[in-house]
Amino acid sequence: MERINAHKIKRIICWSILIINIFIISLIIFTKTNPIVKIYNLFFVIIVLVNSIILLCMSAQQKNRIFLINCLSIVAIIIIANFINSSHSTDEEIWSYRNKIVKDIENNKYTVENGIVYLPDEDIYEKVSDTKRVILATDGDETVIYFYKNAGMLEDSCGYIFYSDKLDSNKCDSTIEFINKRHIKGKWYYCSTQ
């Protein structure tokens, strides 16, 4: 039976802690909109700090560079995440675009073609409404502005509706049925269509 080498075990522990740190930092940075990550964010940061302190002690004892690798990998992940996330729009930015479009539609700043408003051909508008178009429709007796979140393959889709009392119902499509409505805030609802 071979004798267990304590030096190898310490090295395995160091590399395992390093991998855990990299995973946790990646989780925090790349999934920052995930509600579970938001709740446990402080807990994750504490784990990374404790792990880093353990690595510092172990690397000083073993005279290796694992702590330096830990620090450099964390910095590299943060830099990469900032670069990737800088091109992505935040939810607040997208909602501000939607609110501005609603005001512009209510003030007749867009041309309506058969109940459809075509948005400018810029990438941000695809996030505002999946197909870069907004539908003016009626829901019962009320007029709504419908933004696609996910335009379905056929007629079904899901998205956001804004109840507006400033739209002319003659410009609206009355063939869309809005189902599974869930209130978001103010006059905004999340829904599906049928």
| pLDDT of 99 strictly over 90 | yes
Claim to verify: residue 79 and residue 101 sit in the same structural domain: no
Would you put residue 140 in left (φ > 0), alpha (ψ -120 to 50) or beta? Answer: left
Q: Let me know whether 77 and 160 are in one domain.
A: no
| Of the residues 86, 111, 142, the one at which a domain ends | 86
Confirm whether 1 is domain-assigned. Answer: no
pLDDT value for 102:
95
Residue 167 counted as domain residue: yes
pLDDT bin (cut points 50, 70, 90) of residue 71 is confident
Instruction: Give the pLDDT confidence of 1-45 residue by residue, as tens digits.
Output: 456 677 777 777 777 877 887 787 777 666 665 566 666 666 777
Same domain, 107 and 162: yes
Q: Which residues contact 179 (CB under 8 A, 6 or more apart)?
A: 191, 192, 193, 194
Which residue among 31, 56, 86 closes a domain? 86
Residue scoring higher pLDDT (48 or 106): 106
Instruction: With a cut of 80, say whether residue 162 has pLDDT above it.
Output: yes
Which residues is 163 bridged to in the sheet? Answer: 144
Position 70 pLDDT exceeds 90: no
Structural domains in the chain (count): 2
Residue 117 located in a structural domain: yes
Contact 173, 136 (CB under 8 A): yes
The alpha helices in 6-90, defined as continuous H runs, are 6-30, 35-39, 41-62, 66-86
Question: 64 and 51, same structural domain?
Answer: yes
Within-domain flag for 35: yes
pTM more than 0.85: no
Task: Note down the domain range covering 168.
Answer: 91-193
Poorest-pLDDT segment among 73-82, 88-97, 103-112, 113-122: 73-82
**Nearest to 111, CA basis, from 160, 171, 156, 59:** 171
Q: Examine the pLDDT at 100 and tell me if it is beyond 90.
A: yes
Measured CA to CA, the distance from residue 50 to residue 56 in angstroms comes to 10
Residue 180 and residue 96 share a domain: yes
Tokens of 83: 């670069």
**d(Cα 23, Cα 152) in Å, to the nearest integer?**
35
